[in-house]
Structure formats: structure tokens, C-alpha cells
Structure 1
Amino acid sequence: MTSEAGPLPDVASSGHPFRPEVLLELINGVVWEADPVTLRNTYVSGKVTSLFGYSQEDWCTPFFWDGCVDERDRERIEEETRRGLASGEPYHLTYRLRTGDGRTRWVRDMVTPMYEGGKLQALGGVMMDFTAERSAQEALDSLQDRFSKVFEASPVGICISTLSDGRLLETNAAFEALSGCKKADLIGHSLIELGVWDGLSEREGLIRELSGGQALQGKELRMRRPSGEVIDVSASFERIDLDGEACLLAITQDIGARKQAEDRVRVVEARSRSLVQNSADVFSILDEEGRYTYISPSVQTVFGVEPEAIIGRSMVEHIHRDDVSGVLSDFQEVVGKVRGVRTSTFRMITANRSWRWFETTTTNMLTDPHIRGIVCSSRDVTDRKEAEQALARSEGRFRSLVQNASDIITVIDVDGVIQYESPAVERLLGYPVGGRVGQRTLEYIPQEEHQEIRATIVGLIRAGLGATARPVFRYRDADGGVHCLEALATNLLDDPNVGGIVVNSRDITERLQAEKALKASQDRLRSSEKLASLGRLTAGLAHEINTPLAATMNYLQLAGNLAREYQTSIGQGQVTDDDHREIAAELIGMLDEANGTTARIGEFIRQMRGHTRDTVTGVKAFDPARLAADTLSMVAHEARAAMVELHLESHRGSLRIRGEPGRFTQVLTNLVINAIHACEGVQNRQGRVDVRFVSRTEGVCLEVEDNGAGIMPEVMPRIFDPLFTTKEVGKGTGLGLAIIHDIVQGHFGGEITVRTRVGAGTVFSVAFPVPELSSQ
């Protein structure tokens, strides 16, 4: 909507006062009455059809309402109803309700017990669809949080007190500074009691001035601080209701900062108005030409414009051009019928130039002397409309998936009679699509399996809506061949959109035949994973030896060159002793460097020899920290190649675990290599892998932490599954984590756990139990 228009007229001054009993008919809710014992509806208003798609007769059928309540909410609703009836007081329920067209809507049901002569005679209530409001609640919570921050940060003194006794409920920091009192000394006391207002008559006069219902603006008062200082302030007061209690909102500022305070007052007044008059719907009155004569203040919240900007303008100015003709047609239909009502859904433009969907109920009240106009109640249903469109797309996709699914989707009734079969039945079993509808599915299942299938169907029926079973059975195809099918059967007999048991069948004949071959293949892959681990260690060995060896050879070559230079210079007159000393010094330096790199090779071979001795021995107690240092040196080259920092945190004291050191090496190597790979490709930070040991009462914990990409939530449940991998081809077999999981649990009797944050990194923790004393 645009923002150029005249001022918003006061309803009373325009000669059209509102009466609650007239606008009650415009409430977009279902009024009902029910027996308090059986809970059977004895009356329901006609809105049940337009809002939820059920007839009044259906709604009054015994247990009909119970069947419409979403099964996820039934137990809670039953308990809340029992508590509400026991209290004898009005109560309200919120739950999901299945509509006549299969949609699910959120309902707020306000229930009132009705008594006659002290005896409960009936239950009455109003059901309101608040699906859209629920979506808006988060936005409202955010708005309230922002207001609380504005309230506290405002430089204008603000306080809220009870109207009855002036007891302070809330103050902000500016009011504390203005009054000279701490918040803890103010809350729970009245300003008169504390002597803040200079003179007792100030509050009494203030209450009298507010008794007319009008706010007081810019009232000059005198405020006394604890120090005895008296200051002149300008205060604005407004009566508000907070949680049903009459309260006084006071906005106070020093006279010298009047202009700044006026700006802040407008912010606080906006909050006060939202507390008193907060509506998600926009109410408006149009004349017969479709021009606005009144619009409620909520237009500012919904459309972002002031009410005054709308008065006198035509409604079509704000409606999408593709919807104008339909809206005008509905409007003329309402105008031409006394007390006519029409609900339309169309797009309207907001102040930020975005289009929103609105559902508007238009009622002809031209003959009503108190209104004399066309009354419209508009609700933003953009979220609902988008959800409906998404649902339509989803239903289309679902229909396409069913029609093209590789599995056979069958719907049968309680007797096992086929009601529907998907096209996959022709491809997998050779039967024409729809050709077996009306036949019993047991006719195609061997006789010896009939009893088990019947028991499955009976169990599903007894378990109720949504119950599932996973039968495996043999099934005859059109050529007489027998297939083994694995099925997921779901009881949807009470679902009005299905009305049967849905059986999703998959031919697993080839899978069963392939399982033995698969197991053999998995054994080969496990061997491959072990070879891959050995290959990584071999690569580390070659890299760690080749690098210093190449340096040694380079130094020796340089030393040879210097020796030959020294040799050829002997006897030459132009070569001095200082020249010989310089050549000799350089030669000695090259030899020292060669000795140093040769020593590195020796140290690495020593580590490798010690590491190999540990890995080939049997079960024993060993120090995992010492073995970890040698193991990490084997994979250090891979970390350097990936530009990932690899750290082993030192641990004070001795650590002991029991098992085969070689298996521990396999666990550590796999975890570290995985961590290095997780850091590859991460932007904006240096990749890092930390290995640490933590000594605990119950044993030793090995932790391998990286700052890589983390593990996606949908991947987490499968990371220890055999053959499951997210790595690119050539980087993993999908067996590494599965194997180390088996080693940790089966060999060491320990436990492996994972903590991860997407985009931040992962920590694998391996807990090893304390070795028995006899094994130390």
C-alpha cells in the first residue's frame, strides 16, 4: 500500500460507532457446544465448513472430533482436558487438526464450562485457526526482545507501576540516573513511599486526571533525589494493562532535554500501543465504491503505513493487477446481497513494495445503522499460501515418484484385496498396471506363507493408524517364476486420502544371491584397507629418508667441489693461506651439514625399528603415547603435503593400555589420516590436527581433533558403516572407520565417540580401559 492520503477519521466522530455484538459475527472461528461427559459435539457453527472442510452434521457425530485431532497431540489434549474439567474454570487448548481436504492446521480452542444450578451442563468454546500466527510468533518474540533492549537502552527515564498503589514493576537505567536511586531500591516500592515525588498530592491529582481514560503528556513535576536535590521534570503518563492488571506507564525526562525525550516517547508509545492493541488481522470499512472509510491501526504493523494514509483511497490501488477482476467480482456480489459474505484470497502490496497474500472476509453491513459500510477482515496468509504451493509441488513430485518408483507400491484393504498398484508391477513382475485390482494378494503368495501374512495384516489393523511392519515373502510373477520381496507395510486405513494398507515392496532376490559374494568382497576390501595403511607408512618411510638423503648427497657434492678447488689451488702464487683457510672452513661446514642430515636418517630408522618391533609383538601392556610419537612420524609427510599442522601434545607421567600395539597403530593412523583429509580445502584458516592423551580413572582416552569441515548431521549416523565414505574416488574405501570401530570395541574392549560442528571441526575420542594388574 502507498502512504499518501488524508487523516484517519475517528469512528465515533464519523457517526459509525462499533458494537462488539455486531463485529462478533466477523470472528473467523468455529463456535461449538459439547456434552461434558461424552465430549460429543451438540452444536457447531457453520464456520466449521469454510475453515476446516467438515459439515455440521459430521462434526456432531460421536468421536468425530477425536479422529480429526492429530495423533501426536491426542494424549496431551486428553490430559489437558481432564485438568481443565477438574478445575471448573475456562481453559484453552492448542493442537493440530486434520481438515477435510487432508491438510493439518494449528487450532487454538478456548473452552468454557457452563454451569446451571452449580452443575456442569455443557462445554462451550471457540476454535480459531492460528497456523499463520504461529509462524509469526518467532518474529513477535524477536520484536519483543528488540523492544526490551530499546527500553533498557533508552536515555529517557521510563518506569511502569501499578495503578492501585503505585508499586514499581519495572524501570530502566535512565530512570535510575534521573531519580538517583538504584533499581533494587525502586522495584516493589512506590515513588511516593520513597519520597521521589515532591508532595503527596502529585499522584492523587495524576490519578484523577487519568480517570477520564486519556493519557497525560508533558506534565511538569518536581522530583526529589536521595541527596535532597529537587529537579524539575517533564513526565508523560498513560494507563495500560499488563497481564490483566491496570498499570501506569511513566516517561520522565529533564526539562532541558525535552526535545530528545519527545523522540524517545514515540518509541515507548509504539510499544504501549502494541501491548494494548496487537492484532494480526486488519479490519476495514469500505463504501459501495470500494473506498476506505476506516482501517484499524494494525495496518501499520501489517502493511507498514499509517491508517491516515489509507482513508479515502480505493482498495484496488493496492491489489495485484492479476487479482483485481476476481476481487471486484466478489465485492460486487457482496454489495448486491443484504448481509452477503464472501471470502477472497488475493495479493496486496506493502510499503516496502513486496506482494503479500491476504485472505479477506467481506461482509455487507450497509444496512446496519452503526456501520453503513462493507466490513472487511483481512489476514496475511502468505506463509500458508506458499506452504500450499509447496505442498502442491510436493504432491506432484510424490505422484511422479510413485509412478516412476523402482519399488512396487500397493494399496490393499483389510481383506488383502488389491486397491491400487504402481506401474513398477509390470516392469518387475510382468502384470499389467491395474489388471489385478480387486484380486486378493494372497493368491500370488505360496500357501505356506499365508498364515504369517494374515497375522501381519491383523497386527497392523490392531496397532492403528501409522503402524508399520516389514514382512519378507515369496511372490509369483506373471510367468510363474518366484521372487523374494521385502516390504514396508503401513496402516493408513483411517487416512481419508488413502483408506488402505500401503505396501512398498522391493525385489531382493538378486540381493540375497549377492550377499555371499558381497561378504567375500568386503573381506577383500578389509585386506585392501590394511594394505593401504601399510602403504601410507611405507610412503612416510620413503619420504622421511629420501629428503635428508638428498640433502646429504647435495652437501657431499658441494664438499667434493671445495676439495677439488683446494687441490688445484696448491702451489699457485695468487692463492694465499687465507684463501686456503676459507675453502677449508666451507668444506668443514658442508661435511658438518652432511653429518647432521645423515643423523636424521639414523634417528628415523631407529624410530621405525622400534615402531616395527612394537607392531609385530602380540598382546601386551604398552605406553600408547610413546608409540604415537613414532607412528605420527610415519604420516608427517602426508600432513606437510596437505599443508596441515600435526601436533602431538605431551603428557606427563606413564600411560598403559593392553592389546596389540600394531592394532593401536592402525587405529591412530586411520584417525589422523582422516583428520588431515578433513582439513583439506578448508578456507580462511590454517589446517591443524592435534593428538592428545587424557588419563582418567576408568582408563586412557586418545583424542584426535581437527579444525576441518566437520561432519554433516545426515552423515553422522553412518560414519562407522562398512563401505560408507564421503571421500572422492581414490581417497578412501569406506572401511577405515568401520575397521577401527571393530578394533576398539572387539580387541581393546573400549569405546569410540565423535563430537563435531559443521564448519568448525571434529574430535574422535577413543576410550581404552585400565589394564588388569596381572598384565602390567
Structure 2
Amino acid sequence: MGRIFDNAPVALAELSKDGDFLTANPKFCAFTGFDAAELAGTNFCDILHPDDRDGDRLERNKLKAGKHQSYTTSKRVIVKNGSVALAQLDVSISRDDDENPVLLCALQAAQAPFSVDSEEGDVGVLFRSLIEMMPDSVFIHDYATVQIANSAAARVFGIGSADEMVGMWADNLLHPDDVAKIGKRRGVYRSSDMMTPFMRVRFLRLDGTEFEGETASVGITWRGRPARCVVQRSIEDRLATDRALRESARRLENAQRIARVGDWGRDLETGEIYWSDEVWRIFGLLRDTHAPSYESIVEMIHPEDRTLQNEAVQRVLETQEGTSFDHRIVREDGEVRTLHLTIETIPGLDGRPRNLVGTLQDITDLRRTERTLEESTRRLGLVIDNAPIILFAIDREGQFILSQGHGLNALGLKPGELIGKSVFERNKDVPELLEIYKRSLTGETVQSEVKLKGRVFSTYHTPYTDAADDVIGVIGLLVDITERAQAEQALTELNKELELRVEQRTEEFRQSNVRLEETLETLRRTQDELVRGEKLAGLGVLVAGVSHELSTPIGNCVTMASVLEERMTALEREDAASTTSASPLQQHMEAFRHGVELIQRNLKRGSDLITSFKQVAVDQASEQRRVFELKTAISEIVTTLAPMTSKNNYKIETHVDDGIEMDSFPGPLAQIITNFVSNSILHGFGQRDAGKMVLRAYRVNSDRVELTFGDDGEGIDPKNLKKIFDPFFTTRRSGVGTGLGLHIIHNLVTNVLGGTIAVESTPGKGATFTVSLPVTAPAR
């Protein structure tokens, strides 16, 4: 192999996959002027013209990716002396002595520039015929105007004929913005007469519209003058195809992203790996931080699935038949994902596998859904097998094709036992069920209840159809509701019994309500009588006290009158017996004077007491509204209460502001104060013979007056504070009080006088009642 390489008649060089020189034969060294040692370690692009290097790298990358096995192109080679030589370059994939892939590069000098000295000779006719046959636009210009063109050029530029193009300025066929770019390239290639590679440029049609194209040219001699033969083609269709391909690629990428499917490829010779964007997403990796490699893939495969993956790859390489399987990966964040992998091989020219390609789909959610569906199916099966239901289906002829459910046991059947039997024959003794099947087979959905062998079933029958919406059978569900039906029947009977009981009890309640209303009316009358009795009792106490108070002055008057009568009798006797002395008369007159004064004072006291009693008695006996001075009214009330307090050492202190005039009811006010005093003596002081009561009255504002009555008695238990105004509530033993005193006070304050009342008490320190009253009582 080495001798053939060295003695080859053409310039040959072996390059690595990246274009580095490995070796070169003598012809190659002669063509470039470099010896093998100078070329070793350099890259092939180093001897190419700078404008040709990117194109060469692009072609070599296509070779590496397996897109083609060779390529041929024209390149400008910079030889060792600095000159530029046009060469034809042929590059193909080969293998060295160790069977490693290498690039074999062959160089041949390009032919001399084509020369057309006359259009009229055989060469001219042949040249015109050749360019006319070409599908691309071809024309010659002398670096200024068009000298000759083919019909394809006329069509592309929108000109009537090829002859009409002759004489047109070549630069007028270019977009103004691209003229300078083409001019610069002409300057580079003009002196070398080399063929320029195709370049993308914009052209102008005769009507001024522009289009995308590409052009290449070669230097020739035209009629003895330098010229260029230009090949030009529109690339709009190709650009449209490219756009369509890019759009297709974009849609493919979107489809892969949505379906979570990526594609991948691996060059078995170079080890190079390709991943689509979705593969990166599936693996949870970023292009910027990770490089795709076979080792990184193996590292991510779940340890339990690596053997499966290795065996599948080996099997594909050996058989060259595609396969697919599922395996798990463990991403860097620890998440386990399930993937579906497909693998195929692409053979090389030698028929051996050159590339592995395939797809990768994330099926984690699918597997999770499948497990959920399997679990749901299992649970549904358990329900069907254990619930009191029958699930069945019949075809259009009425033959059972499905018969499942625990409810079949109640009919003495087993699951699947009815399959193949006629529903009409089976249920010929149940006409209502036959009618349901007939209706369902005509397209109607029927719900009903039927009795079968002593059991009650709730039935649901619905037709199912084919793609043409024609009924091809019936599916149904029977639920054993025997116990429920029995319970409903028992409930219906119980409801009837309850309704009867409710009617009876309602009548009893109505009668009891009548009796209750009568009892309440009796209680209201009794309460009113007790209240009136309480008022009369208070008035009786007042009368008894006043009678006691009046008996003393009246008794004094009677006694003094008797003494005066005796003195007058004695005076008469002495006057009859005495004739000279006036002393006895004077003494009797003095006694008369003292007696008369005593009588007057006692009678005055009785008169005042009677006057106050009359006023208070009149006020308490009536609820007449009048205007009164509060201080005077309270003084009169307290005066009448003296008999209640004088028996023991009970004291009443009053502190009433002057000038408080009220338009209210003095009678209820007197009753309130009397009941306060009576309550303190009876309950507050208990068995004590002494006690102090304080009554205060003062104006709160122009509209309200506040009265406070307090004592230093036993006080009230906190648990009773909320109940003391309730009727008949008392803390004393039976027979002591009626329990209406404070209730009457509460009613008089709130209902008659339009005020409020509150109480505070500390056990052992007495109680204080606060009454807030309007100066003007509300109308009644």
C-alpha cells in the first residue's frame, strides 16, 4: 500500500479526520513545494487560499457526519513560493494499514483558461450550443458589458431574448449593494484566471425586482481580451426549500418536545455523538455544561438496566436489525425517568455498520398512567366481582357476549355462563325485560326496575353503535336492590304510621295548648292580684304606721283635755269658795295655756301627718301624672315611712338636689321608694335591729335624673343578682314576702316611668340600686 501511495501519478496526501497532514507522496510535495516533513503537523487548510478554507471545512464535516463518502471541488492552493495555483481537489474516506479511518486527498492542476477567439468558427458555434443547453444562466462579460448570453439568462433576468442582453452593463444585473462585493472578488481572481467558488448574491431583473441567487465565474479569453464566463442561478426555490426545511425542523423539534421524543446518532468510527434538543431536555442536561458522550449515557442508565442496554446494542450491531426496548435513567438531580429507546444501524460503503441512530422517548408519565389504569382496572374488576351487580352485553341478534358480576349468584348463575345464549330465550318469562331489550336494540336508553327470581334489580340498558352509528348491540347494568326495596317499603309503611301518630299527637298538643293558655291566663290574673295585694300590703303597713303615729298626739290631746276639764271643775269650786285671792285663778290659767299649747302642737303634728298621708295615699292609690318638685315629693314619701323605721333603729338619709322638677307619676315613684325601704328592712337587715339607708337624687343632664338607694345590710349573693327582678323570686323562707317587691319596682321603673334600673352588691356590705329616669315620663 505504501509503494502504491508513493508512486501514484497524482498528488496524494493522507489527512486525519480534522484535516491534519499524516503523510504526503512526492507528487503532492512537488505540487505544493513543501516536503513531507514541512507538511507534517500542519492542517490542510493552511495551504489553501483564506477565502476557500471555510468551504473545505464544511465539506470535511459532512464527511465526518457520514452525510457523504467523498467530495470534489476547485480550490486555490498557496504553494511554498507564495503563488496561487488553481487545483481540483478530490477527498474521500479511506483506512490506513491499521484500519483506522483517514481522509485521502488528491490534487490535480486545473486546466488553462478557455479561449474563444471568434464566435463564427466551429469552436464558437460549439460554445454557443453548449451554453444554450445549460439550465443555469450563463453569460460572458469583458469586465464591463455582456458579450454573449444563453436563453436561460434572459428568462432569469426577465429580458425578451439572449441577444437583447448583449451590450448591457454586467453590474446592472446586480443589486447595487452587492456590486462592490463582486468587484472586490473580481480583483482577487482576475490575475489568476482561476474559477471562483459559488457566492451568494442578489440580482435585479429588468423590471427592478430583486431575487436571491448564486454565481461563479472563470477567467477566459474572449476575442483576444480577458473576460469572465459567469454561471448564475436563482436560489429562491432552494431558499424556499431551506425555509421549509427549517420550519419542518422547527415543527419536528416542537413535536419532539411535545411528545417528549428526541433523536440521536453515534458515529461508530469517530465516536462522535449527536443529540437533538429534546434528548438534552430528557436527560436534564445543558449544552453549555455537558458534552455528549457514550460514557455519559452509560453512566446515566440505571444500574439494573445497563446489561439490557448493552445486549440490545450488541444485538443490533450483529444482526443490523433495528430494535426497541425500555430502560431507566437516573438524572443528575436523582430523579428516575423511564425511556423508550429505538436503535437502528446505517451501513458504510463496505456494508458494515457505520452509524447507530434512533429515537428516545420519555414515557415516565405514560408508564405511571398505565400503572394507574391497571390499578383502576383491577379495582373495577374487584367491584364487579364482589358488588351485587350484573354487567352484560348482547349483540344485535340478542346473543350474550358479556356476562360478569357478583349479582349473578343471586340468579344461580356463574360469570360467563350466559355467553352465546339468547337473551330472548333466557327471559321469555319476564315480558317487561324483553320489552326493555327490544327498545334498546332500536336505539333507546332505558332505565327501570324488574323482579327476577324473587330479587329486585335496578336496570340500565343502552345501545352501542359502530362507526356508521348503526346499533350493533346493547350493554347493560343490573344492580341488586332487593334489600333497599324492602327497606323502602318498610319505610313507606313506617311513614304512614308516623303520619297517623303525628296527627294524633298534634291533636293532643292542640288540646294541651288550649289548657296551657287557660292556665297562663289564670296565672296572669293571679299575678295581677298578687301585685295589687303587694301594693295594698304596702299601703296597709303605711296605714298601720300612720295610725300608730296619730294615736300618740291624739291620746295626748285627750289626756290634756281631761286634765283641763278637771282643772276647770276645781276652778269653779274654788271660785265659789274663795272671795278675795286671785292666785288660784292665775295658776289655773297658766295650766290652761300650757294645755292648749300642747293640744295645738299635737293636733298640728297629726294634721301634718294626715296631710302627707293623704298625698302619698292619693299618689299610691292612683297613677295620675302631674308636675311635681322631686325633693318635696321624696320628703313627703320618707315622712310617711317614719312609722316603718321608728320601731327599730333604722335610719334613712336623703340627699336630693334642689330645683328638680319632673313631669311624671309620683304614685309609682312613692311605691318604688316604699318597696326599696321595705326590701331593706325585710331582706337587707334580716334579724338586725339597726341599719342605715341612703337615698340620693341628682340631675344627670337636662333630660335625666338618677336616683340611688343603698343600705349597709347583708347584700345579695352574686349568683342571685340576675334573678332578683324575676317575679316570685325570694331568698327568704316560705311565708316571708311574696317575691314581687323588686319585680314591681322593675316594672314601674321600665314600663311606667320609662327608665332603667341596675343593682350592685358585695355580700356583707349591702346593696345599691341605681334608677335612671327621664325628667319627662313617656306618654302612656
For Structure 1 versus Structure 2, the TM-score category normalised by the shorter chain is 0.3 to 0.5
Mark the structure with the bigger radius of gyration: 2
| Higher RCO structure (Cα 8 Å, ≥6 apart) | 1
TM-score by length of 2: 0.32
